[in-house]
Amino acid sequence: MKSKGIKLTLKDEGYDIYAPREGQTWGYRYGPSIMCYDGKHADAWFASPGARGEADWFTYRHTDDGGKTWTPEKVVLTPTADSMDLFSVCDPGVIKFGGYYYIGYTSTVFTDFGGVCNNGFVARSKNPDGPFEKWTGSGWGEERVNSKGERFVWMGKPAPIIYFEGDWHDWGAGEFSFVVSNDVLYIYYTLTTKDADGARVSETRVATADATDENWPNTIRQRGVASKRSSGGNDSFDVIYSDECSKFIAISTDKRFTKDSMLAIYESDNGLRFKRTNELRVNTSQMCHNSGISGDELHHIKKGDLKLLGYAYGDKWGYWGTRFHEYSVKKNVGFYSEAGKPCVERTVDPWPLADMQPISVMPLTDPKTPRFYKMRMGEKLDLRFGTFDSTYKCTETADVSITAYDTDIIEISGFEVSPKKVGYTFATVSCGDVYSEFLIYVYPEDFDFSEENKYPVSMEPSEPVYRISLNRKENKQVRAIIQYSNGTWEESGHDHSKITYESDDPEIADVREDGVIVTKGVCGKTYATMKLADLFVRFKIVVSKM
């Protein structure tokens, strides 16, 4: 007898949980991550536009009546200045275990090239709406105690938990989804790149980690390809586990942004390898993309739970509604498809301009360096702040409080900052119940910020070891974090004109002028050297069949 699969269907025509406001020419809340606690209570997180040089932020809403009404939205996670996620927080994926809400997200430092070379990050909080601490590579957030004994815990400068090692021109890695089963954290993410032959690679990868370990990012183990994406129109996975069906279930959109778009459903017995089992069009909007499906804290579903799924839709780029539906799951034999049935042509109807309370607040710094101030000893700095409503209209305001900064580094009187010591401090600005962090660096009195006089002062490889599979024809690029004398830094990749490479054993692997590793078809290990001016760093290359 055939093992039974699942049949997932939409129960209704759904409703819009978001639409742009009247008069807007753009606006979106895509990629919802939805957590349902029972038949009535749910949280939802969305990717929304950013502002002043940042691409995307995360908003949050809550319901206590099964989705009939939702709380007003507010921004709960934003990029961290002067860090590896300075450009955006995109594609929320949320789970709760061990007393924390964990939110995975996508970002890049390549801000001028259209969102390429993405990495995957994670942050945590005791509350669904924050404040969040970001994984820094060694722990969560940054803790500091000043000379007065005051303790500060800041979000911290994040490090990727999934670092993209491919050519920087490619989209990269991200779009997380999480499931916990038997104390194992399953981590699903998109990988979009090219192999060593130039062929397109578009996959959903899976990794696992120890959910009982507070520092679980240190325990991540790669487990291979969960599913190959059928085309560029096949969207990222959001994965849940059905306790009744004993199946991992993944949702994605396919033929995204087209009139033939659909919801594609996949299933797995072990969470490691998925097969396509349903294609849904009944009640589904045309032009849909970036979907999400609800589960409980561990991203499981069971009988009696509120079951919601959502996606963005609309025929104009960046002007999208977000629609929620209730769904049902039952056991089924064979493949279930609604491919012969039409999806629904829906117009995105704007919402009225009402209830325009602030959803975020941030400092009004130079958009080229959002949330980031630089000053020298002996100088003064005047702070300015703005609030943002649901249309992202900015209104300058003085009705804010500034807290959680290190008084050993700076003193703030009103909105004037005086430096006390060379160093840096984060600070929190709050307006009502919305808040965000910003960063202030204090440099020596004679510090030179100029671009024309800068020179590299340190360099370290972004990855100390590059492992390359010959069978998978992996294409990897060496990059480094370069610090400059004027206080700026960059990750190399787009500009290799002043960097040279030398392999200890070119018969195993060599490094091209653009930093791409070239293997010679044999297994082995070698070291190589990256040089920039008087600086050099060593890194390891491991070539294997698998």
Residue 131 lies in a domain: yes
Nearest to 211 by CA among 174, 241, 248, 183: 183
* Residue that finishes a domain, picked among 417, 443, 469: 443
Residues 68 and 168 in one domain: yes
Q: How many CB atoms lie within 10 A of CB 316?
A: 11
Nearest to 493 by CA among 82, 85, 167: 167
* Integer Rg of the chain from CA: 24
Residue 34 lies in a domain: yes
pLDDT of residue 497: 76
pLDDT of residue 3: 60
**Predicted structure pTM score:** 0.97
Nearest to 104 by CA among 167, 190, 169: 190
Residues 433 and 292 in one domain: no
Instruction: Read off the pLDDT of residues 363-417 as tens digits, 9 standing for 90 and up.
Output: 999 999 999 999 999 999 999 999 999 999 999 999 999 999 999 999 999 999 9
Residues 185 and 331 in one domain: yes
Q: Look at 87-91, 224-228, 334-338, 441-445 and tell me which has the smallest mean pLDDT.
A: 334-338
Residue 342 lies in a domain: no
Write b or e for each residue in 401-417: b if 16 or more Cβ atoms lie within 10 A of its Cβ, otherwise e.
ebebbbebbbebeeeeb
Identify whether the C-beta of residue 44 lies closer than 8 Å to the C-beta of residue 33.
yes
Residues 189 and 221 in one domain: yes
3-state secondary structure of 39: coil
Identify whether the C-beta of residue 67 lies closer than 8 Å to the C-beta of residue 142.
no
Could you identify the residue written with the tokens 């409080």?
401
Instruction: Read off the pLDDT of residues 314-340 as tens digits, 9 standing for 90 and up.
Output: 999 999 999 999 999 999 888 999 988
Write b or e for each residue in 249-275: b if 16 or more Cβ atoms lie within 10 A of its Cβ, otherwise e.
bbbbbbbbbbeebbbbbbbbeebeebe
Identify whether the C-beta of residue 125 lies closer than 8 Å to the C-beta of residue 328.
no
Residue 398 belongs to domain with CATH number: 2.60.40.1080
At 347, list the tokens.
Answer: 């117009």
Q: Please, which residues have CB within 8 angstroms of residue 41's CB and are 6 or more apart in sequence?
A: 62, 63, 64, 306
Summary mean pLDDT of the chain: 95
Mean pLDDT of 128-147: 97
Residue 450 lies in a domain: no
* Residue that finishes a domain, picked among 422, 443, 464: 443
* Residue that finishes a domain, picked among 409, 443, 477: 443
Residues 311 and 420 in one domain: no
Could you identify the residue written with the tokens 């981590």?
187
Whole domain around residue 515: which residue ranges? 456-544
3-state secondary structure of 403: strand
What's the gap between Cα 453 and its chain centre? 35
- Cα–Cα distances (Å) from 236 to 121, 325, 395, in that order, read 16, 19, 35
Residues 145 and 284 in one domain: yes
Mean pLDDT of 488-494: 89
Instruction: Read off the pLDDT of residues 176-226 as tens digits, 9 standing for 90 and up.
Output: 999 999 999 999 999 999 999 999 999 999 999 999 999 999 999 999 999
pLDDT of residue 498: 85
Is pLDDT above 60 for 1? no
Identify whether the C-beta of residue 173 lies closer than 8 Å to the C-beta of residue 191.
yes
- Cα–Cα distances (Å) from 66 to 12, 33, 38, 295, 325, in that order, read 14, 16, 9, 14, 11
Residues 424 and 469 in one domain: no
Tell how strand 300-301 and strand 289-293 pair up: unpaired
Phi, psi of 425 (to 5 degrees): -150, 140
Domain count across the chain: 3
Residues 238 and 287 in one domain: yes
Residue 269 carries which DSSP code? Answer: S
Residue 31 lies in a domain: yes
Phi, psi of 219 (to 5 degrees): -105, 10
Residue 38 belongs to domain with CATH number: 2.115.10.20
Is pLDDT above 60 for 2? no
Residues 16 and 95 in one domain: yes
Mean pLDDT of 101-109: 98
Residue 466 lies in a domain: yes
Residues 274 and 406 in one domain: no
Residues 165 and 246 in one domain: yes
User: Confidence class of residue 112 from pLDDT cuts 50, 70 and 90?
Assistant: confident
Residue 184 lies in a domain: yes
Q: Which residue would you say has higher pLDDT here, 353 or 30?
A: 30
At 387, list the tokens.
Answer: 């609030």
Residue 396 lies in a domain: yes
Residues 255 and 112 in one domain: yes
